[in-house]
Amino acid sequence: MSEYVPSPRQWVAEQVELYEGSGGTAGLTLRDTGLPVIIVTNRGWKTGAIRKTPLMRVADGNNYILVASQGGAPTHPHWYHNLKADPNVEIRDKTEVFTMRVREVVDSAERERLWAIAVEAFPPYQEYQNKTDRIIPLLIAEPVA
């Protein structure tokens, strides 16, 4: 079993600690937005370490849409590369934890539908897309049967 390595970003590490330490009853929103987040647990592709990332809660039925926006930065977030290397994740949504598998959304019709859901859940995603030259990746996390 690999060791959990907290994010070097202090606010991320603190949010994960609060969310998980409370059993999913505290730290449930992104900073001061009041908007809900989930915790995605995955394996680092370089280190093999366990990583945990709070992401906006964007649901599509029993699936979760993971938006690799990084605030519209010119590069993909580290967690995106981790999920591409190992698509097996755990998602904590409040007090529930789900074993899931992710895949990148490449079909244009599916992507368009899921992007609309993501922007409705967190409108800044559209601003992030407008300010970067890269196409922001969407991944869909689906329950493992």
pTM for this structure? 0.95
At 32 the pLDDT is 80
At 1 the pLDDT is 62
Q: Which domains does the chain have, with CATH numbers?
A: 10-143 (2.30.110.10)
Instruction: Identify the segments of the chain with pLDDT beneath 50.
Output: none
Residue 125: count of CB within 10 angstroms of its CB: 21
